Structure 1
Amino acid sequence: MVKFLSEKVMDAFSSMKTTDSISLESNEDIKRLEKYYIDPFNYVNNIMQEEDNFIIGRRGTGKSTLIYRAFAECINSWDKGKKIYKKNILPIFIDLSKCEILTQKIDEDIIFEEYFTYELVRAFRKYINLLWPYIISSVEEDEDKSKLFNIREYMDQLDELIKKDVTYTKKWKYTLGEFLDKIALIKELSNATAIYIFVDEYSELSSTNQKILGNLLKRLRGTRRGIYFKVCAITDNYDLGEIRLQRDFYEISLDLYKFIERSNGLNDAFNRLEKFTSNIVQERLNVFGCETDISSIFNDYSQSISLLTRASIGIPRTIGIILKEAWAQAQAKKRIKISNDDLMFGIKSAGDSYYGFFSGNVGPVIPKLYDDIFEEILTRARQERKVNSKKFASMFLVGGFRDSHFKYLTENYLIHLLKKDETSVKGETNLSLYMIDLAFINKYNIGFGLDRDVYRQQRFVYNDIMKKYDVYFTNTRKEYRCPQCDTEYTQEQLFLPQLNTYLEFCLRDRHMLVKIDGIDEGNQTFTEMERKIIGTIRSRTVNDAILARDVSEIVGCNKIKVAKFAEKVEKENLIKRERLDGNNSPYRYYRGK
């Protein structure tokens, strides 16, 4: 394969690892996104409905890409040649991870609201420029000629506000409600039907700030006609405050177990995932001008797509990591196609990266017991494989109430939640089905399979080995209250050891219990992205110290974020940074002592 084509293939695979290269102000980037975005469950149409949404999924599942695509559809709604929906939508997009002030902990609600509003105003002025020609055209068709003058007057007022110097110590006296009033007027004057406010990286806020923002959105939602919030958050890494999903905001989940729920069993789900994976890769190849069919990239297309699907479980970022590493090895060995050995190398590389996120944090950030839990699972799986080497041992069942025990294992893709509310052959109910990541399945030869008659066997119910860890989680469980008699219960008081489950009703009057605020689960000192940065750096020694740009590529974030955050945690002695290549060289980062 000629060199320029090889580079295009590499660019196509690299593009799947992060959305940082996409600019919403670039018409070329938006057109490219529209061409390669694969939407198996009509997610874009769901987001385009006039309702408030929380889009939830693990990092790398495509949340940002999805709302980028919805943002593009809002722009298209003004173009008569591209129009799909019978409405004109003004979009506002804000990436919270790039708002330096907001990512600092702010304890006072009113101060946080002012800074959040400031960032929204800046975003609104930035992106309305994309629609300005359409707005002028729409208003000029109107008989009321004063509309355009009034819009420009409002814009000038916002510009004056933005010019004010705002820092963490110098506040900005302008509330979100006041801003919504202003854009509601602009909406009416510009003949827009609705305004969609896209909020990305909600989970990058501190737990305190998430709760403040959640309460703020709950208070303001529905108060201005035609204004809707579309918010992205990472699974198990968000605090919605007073917001109740499916009542206040409608959830759109991109997680694997939700994909499987929509399928007819695991076999059907993985068959559909294979098609999804193949389509994603093919569209990227097309958009990047590779002019080749996906089948010509692999020595054995059918087996390769099957392996790639099992390893990536449909996560675009993981697909990109695996294929980039596999392609690089194939090219290094002068091969024009990816062999199964190359693909296995890519799978191992991805697995090593994810395990590095986890292992680098064990001790200073993640409690050691999570590592013990993972080792216990692997040991048990290897033992069960020895019992019958012809049967796979890659899956296990555990009581659903223990899902929180696996927070850092699922976060780092060491294990994957496949199903909830599964039942064992002996009739145990409310079990969650997990699969060990393919990198570890291959490493320990524990076998991959999807046969329900196998994984439902009692020997794969791991509650017996998990019981000893329950004591570590008793203080993090939610508490419950009876709405009838006001009796309060801790989760431990509701546990029935004989049935290995929890009561859901009051012992006094049998009314269904409701949750009340409990202690936050998990480590809240760092966000999920920050934990991945720390883990990546702490998995390196001085001999293989890593640059900020390489950390950003592995984690899937901005290199400026890496550099600034690394400077902060170095002061806490979690990592080291040095100019190892000379005084004028960039910093390299490593574990330190």
Structure 2
Amino acid sequence: MNSDKFAKIADSLRQYRRAELLDFEKEVGANPIEALYVDPLPSNAILKTILLNNTTFIIGRKGTGKSTIFAKAQSEIRKSTDAISIYVDVKSLHELLKTSDVPVKALGDAEISDLVYRAHFLRKSFLGSIIADLIKELKASYEKSSVFDRWLGQKRQYKDVVETLERLAAEVTSTKLSQEEIPILRTISTKTKEATKNTQSLKNTGKGEVKVGEKTEAKGVLGSELFDESVSDNETYAEYADAVLRSFPFQEIVNQIREFLFEAQLGRLFVFFDDFSELSWVDQKLFVDVILSPLNNASNETVKLKVAGYPGRIYYGKIDPGKIDTVGLDFYQLYKAQDIQTSEASAINYLERLLTTRFEKFQENIAHYFDTSLPLTEYFRLLFEVTLNVPRLIGYVFHHCYLDKVAKGQQITAAAIKLAAQKYYETVVAKYFDRMHRFAMEPFEQKLDRHNQHQLIKFLVAAAKRIKREIATGSVGGKYFEGLSNPPVSHFAVSPSLESLLSSLELNFLVTKYHEMRDKSGKDVSIFAFFYGLCEAERLSWGYPRGRRDDRSYFVQRCFDYNVEIQQFLAKSKTIRCGTCGACYGMEKKESIEFYKWRCAECQDGVCTVVSLGDDFRAEVESLSKKTALPVVELEILEALNEESTPMRAGEIAALVDATPQLVGHRTSKLQEMGLVKKTPSGGTVKNSITEKAKQRYFGANSSSADADEFES
């Protein structure tokens, strides 16, 4: 065993960044992506689909390999003489433009508020920066290619075409306000003023409060939130998007790109857009309507779009989903089959190919790292169950196995893998809810969505524990569960109509769709599974009894039908409350209370109303100190530094937090000014480390209850 190489293997799997794994050139050769790439399907079926001359949306949760596939596809395109490719990191461009030092001048139009103008300016700057980056990357990619001399004898010289494109890039990034935009911005300003008045009214009546911090970034969050609300109706949004689109010389840009390709004797331009699902809904819609749709629909088949996004968070706009390719990377979509066993076998085959190749390229034998008390095939199955084939999760499990076993010269056991999954859940997933709730600078709706996720997963876990007790006492299941000392309760069935309610939990890996089948009544149901690490933490057995004659029907036993449980949870999201004494009544009593004119049965004096539990949560959020709030990316940087416990370069941090080194460098400089990060010169570079102040404030044992003001000194 070589513990250093194992640590490298783990790191190569858990890296966020799409960069072609250049940190591992020493171990695997000059082109790591060529050496390490393993397609999720046999015969490189996913890669071949991405390389087809169609617009393609590749959909998968974080860490499922979208960026790796993009990197491999670009590597293949570079071998071609009639095509060229560029890569645009949508999320990082957006994050860079949200920084606090973006200069925004007042418009001077009394009918357009400063908050609306700022929100519009940032959005238009973002869209312009995408176009400018596209043009910059097109020029850089072509100049690196081996066909640069094709311009000899052409009608237009390379310099002329590039200068025209660069002029257009400068024009779109200037964010000048056009006459088409002013009327709709005035309309939006009127709506935001009305929303602000309503909020102020709530504050005056004691029902709510709005606190705007002095930081520009906090004001930007508020302005963006009000802006999004104001353009939420389809008519206003359509008018706004159309005005923004007409303010860009988009047709000229498309024409110049087409001419560039023609003069260069290139038939196709592949544009890879990564992480666009990280945008807010309005930003995502604008990105599609102002950039993707025109490129897709007006490029005369010369531009091929490849877009990576998250399941359930894809907006197509005017792009016809029926005329594009869609590739799903999550386990259920990739390996869907008639029966669970076939799906699992296909998934385990990929995991085995992935890991065997990875160890071989690092000149290691994977079998040497696992305890021989189990066959290696059983370890592959367990790793599949623990991670459901998400490469990044495999990397994190290996990282914990390295710390617990390999670094000590010990082989990995099944117990070590299960413990690694539990540690990842406890240190990353479970902490996520509390830390983001208290410290993330984001719109209230995002906090409320996360709060509801947290409440729902607790509700579902409680249901699983109850079912486990009922099976043990024989009150459910009858003879079906006889002989099972610790019956698995990790999977549950819901109606397909309720799947959307679990989408946020699935996006954060707390649950994962596992299979589709029919229940005992012949109705279609979707089978979901809890994250393995969660089950380990909650002492719930994962999976199903293998080898039983009727194991295929295990998941559709009536006790695992969670439709009623989810409906009960939804009912609890609202309650009837007396405004005088605070007494609460379930929604099932609404008709009787309504019959008595909403008079409270408890105090006889108060009047009852229907109250959303989100109202209570809003009050809780408003009570939190704004002094410690940070943008999400900065929290992630601190979390990476705290987790790794070692000084790191910006590029190393970027690989773990899904950002560019440029963005990390900017944010760590800001965090340094706040006393949360320390920068130290090291061998011609700068390394970042987390300070004790940051550890205590965001990760200390008292961080969940201590008042933030204690740490201001």
TM-score, normalised relative to structure 2: 0.63
In 1, the alpha carbon distance for the partners of 2:529 and 2:519 equals: 15
How far the C-alpha of 1:581 sits from its partner, in A, is 10
Please give the secondary structure, in 2, of the residue aligned with 1:99.
Answer: helix
Q: Which structure has the highest helix share of the two?
A: 2
8 Å contact from structure 1 (residues 17, 321) kept in 2: yes
Q: 1:578 aligned to 2:672?
A: no
Give distance in 2, aligned partners of 1:541 and 1:48: 40
Instruction: Could you tell me which runs of 5 or more consecutive residues in structure 2 were left unpaired when the two chains were aligned.
Output: 99-117, 179-243, 441-446, 473-483, 545-550, 575-617, 619-629, 681-686, 709-713
Alpha-carbon distance in 2 for matches of 1:461, 1:103: 46
The answer to whether the aligner puts 1:237 opposite 2:313 as a matched pair is: yes
- Which of the numbers 514, 526, 541 marks the counterpart of 1:447? 541
* 1:435 Cα offset (Å): 0.2
Q: Distance in 2 between matches of 1:354 and 1:257?
A: 21
Match of 1:491?
none
Q: 2:153 aligns with which of 139, 143, 146?
A: 146
Contact 2:284 2:315 (8 Å CA) reproduced: yes
State the one-letter code of the partner of 1:461: D
Is the alpha carbon distance of 1:547 and 1:342 closer, same or farther for their aligned partners in structure 2, counting shifts above 3 Å?
same
Question: Are 2:422 and 1:348 aligned?
Answer: yes
- Range that drifts further, 122-131 or 445-454: 445-454
Any conservation in 1 of the 2:50–2:56 contact (CA below 8 Å)?
yes
User: How much has 1:102 moved relative to structure 2?
Assistant: 7.2
Q: Residue 591 of structure 2 aligns with which residue?
A: none
Identify which range, 392-401 or 111-120, moves more after superposition: 111-120
Displacement of 1:55 in angstroms is: 1.2
User: Structure 1, residues 190-242: CA drift from partner, whole Å, max 9, x if none?
Assistant: 22221111111112333222111211322442322221211111223343334
Q: Distance in 2 between matches of 1:168 and 1:26?
A: 38
Query: In the TM superposition, what is the alpha-carbon distance from 1:89 to its structure 2 partner?
Result: 1.2
- Structure 1 residue 394 and structure 2 residue 490: aligned? yes
| Counterpart residue number, 1:499 | none
Please tell me whether the aligned partners of residues 10 and 395 of structure 2 are also in contact (alpha carbons under 8 angstroms): yes
Per-residue CA deviation, residues 461-505 of structure 1 (Å, 9 max, x unaligned), is 11111113335889xxxxxxxxxxxxxxxxxxxxxxxxxxxxxxx
Deviation at 1:547, TM superposition (A): 8.4
| Partner residue in 2 for 1:198 | 272
Is the Cα–Cα contact under 8 Å of residues 86 and 137 in structure 2 kept in the other structure? yes
In 2, the alpha carbon distance for the partners of 1:27 and 1:586 equals 23
Q: Give per-residue Cα distances to partners, 1:532-582, cap 9 Å, x unaligned.
A: 86479689999x9998979756544446646756899999xxxx8635899
In the alignment, what sits opposite 1:118? 132
2:370 to 298, 310, 326: 298
Q: Indicate the SS of the match to 1:251.
A: strand
Provide the C-alpha distance between the structure 2 equivalents of 1:27 and 1:375, rounded to a whole number of angstroms.
41
Q: Give 1:309 deviation, angstroms.
A: 0.9
User: Residues of 1 paired with 2:470 and 2:296: CA distance?
Assistant: 56
Give the CA deviation at 1:281: 1.6
Closer, same or farther: CA 416–165 of 1 in aligned 2, 3 Å: closer
Specify the alignment match of 1:59 in structure 2: 62
Q: 2:510 & 2:635 partners in 1: Cα distance?
A: 17
Q: Does the residue aligned with 2:5 lie in a helix, a strand or coil?
A: helix
Shift in CA distance, 209/259, structure 1 to aligned 2, threshold 3 Å: same
What's the offset of the Cα at 1:438? 0.8
Question: What's the offset of the Cα at 1:339?
Answer: 2.6
Name the residue aligned to 1:186: 260
CA deviation after TM superposition for structure 1 residue 315, in Å: 0.5
Deviation at 1:174, TM superposition (A): 6.1
Any idea what SS the aligned residue of 1:196 has? strand
Cα separation, 1, equivalents of 2:79 and 2:167: 29
Contact residue 96 and residue 663 of structure 2 kept, 8 A: no
Change over 3 Å in CA distance of 1:175–1:205 after alignment to 2: farther
d(CA) in 2 for partners of 1:204 and 1:60?
14
Counterparts of 1:113 and 1:385, CA distance in 2: 52
SS at match of 2:497: helix
Distance in 1, matches of 2:502 and 2:522, equals: 23
For 2:634 and 2:503, how far apart are their aligned partners in 1? Answer: 17
Q: Give structure 1 stretches of 5+ with no counterpart.
A: 79-87, 475-522, 524-528
The 2-side partners of 1:110 and 1:532 are apart by 21
1:224 is aligned to 2:299: yes
Task: Tell me if 1:383 matches 2:471.
Answer: no
Q: Tell me how far 1:164 sits from its aligned partner.
A: 8.4
CA 1:252/1:417 → structure 2, altered by over 3 Å: closer, same or farther? same
**Are the structure 2 counterparts of residues 49 and 22 from structure 1 closer, same or farther at C-alpha, using a change threshold of 3 Å?**
same
* Distance in structure 1 (CA, Å) of the matches to 2:138 and 2:58: 21
Match of 2:322 among 233, 239, 246: 246
Q: Which residue, out of 118, 121, 127, partners 2:141?
A: 127
Q: Distance in 2 between matches of 1:467 and 1:174?
A: 47
- 2:520 pairs, out of 425, 436, 460, with 425
- Report 1:329-348 matches (<5 A): 329-335=404-410, 337-348=411-422
Q: Deviation at 1:110?
A: 6.4
SS of equivalent to 2:13: coil
How far the C-alpha of 1:45 sits from its partner, in A, is 0.8
Contact 1:533 1:555 in 2 (8 A): no
Aligned AA for 2:34?
A: E
List per-residue Cα deviations over 1:12-35 (Å, max 9, x = no partner): 220111253725999968822122
Could you say what secondary structure the match of 2:78 adopts? helix
* Residues 397 and 461 in structure 1, CA contact (< 8 A), matched pair in contact too: yes
Farther-moved stretch of structure 1 (410-419 vs 551-560): 551-560
41-50 vs 297-306, which moves further = 297-306
Against the structure 1 CA distance between its residues 189 and 160, is the aligned structure 2 distance closer, same or farther, given a 3 Å change threshold?
same
TM-score, normalised to structure 1, is 0.75
Q: SS of the residue aligned with 2:519?
A: coil
Which residue of structure 2 aligns with residue 93 of structure 1?
Answer: 87
Q: CA deviation at 1:427?
A: 3.0
Q: Secondary structure at the match of 2:514?
A: strand
Please give the alpha-carbon distance, in whole angstroms, between the structure 2 residues aligned to 1:343 and 1:254.
Answer: 23
2:35 matches 1:35: yes
Q: Secondary structure at the match of 1:221?
A: helix
Residue 305 of structure 1, CA deviation: 1.6
Residues 14 and 122 (structure 1 numbering): CA distance in 2 closer, same or farther, change over 3 Å?
Answer: same
Letter in 2 for 1:424: D
In the alignment, does 2:448 pair up with 1:372?
A: no
Q: 2 CA distance for matches of 1:13 and 1:456?
A: 37
Structure 1 residues 384 and 25: CA distance shift in structure 2, 3 A: closer
What is the SS of the residue equivalent to 2:405?
helix
RMSD after superposition: 4.1
* Whole-angstrom distance in 2 between the partners of 1:387 and 1:66: 46
Number of aligned residues: 509
3-state secondary structure, aligned to 1:397: strand
SS in structure 2 of the partner of residue 123 of structure 1: helix
Query: In the alignment, which residue of structure 2 is the partner of 1:50?
Result: 53
What is the CA-CA distance between 1:181 and the residue it aligns to? 1.4
Q: Provide, for residues 134-170 of structure 1, a one-character-per-residue CA deviation record: whole Å limited to 9, x for no partner.
A: 342xx38xxxx52286234313444566688957789
TM-aligned CA distance change 1:448 to 1:437, over 3 Å: same
Distance (whole Å) between structure 2 residues aligned to residue 566 and residue 405 of structure 1: 36
The CA deviation at 1:434 is 0.5
Matched, 1:413 2:509: yes
Task: Specify the code of the residue in structure 2 equivalent to 1:452.
Answer: R
Q: In 2, are the aligned partners of 1:392 and 1:447 still within 8 Å (CA)?
A: yes
The alpha-carbon deviation at position 440 of structure 1 amounts to 2.1
Deviation at 1:441, TM superposition (A): 2.2
* Partner Cα distance (1:115, 1:539) in 2: 28
Q: Is the 8 A contact 2:277 2:313 kept in 1?
A: yes
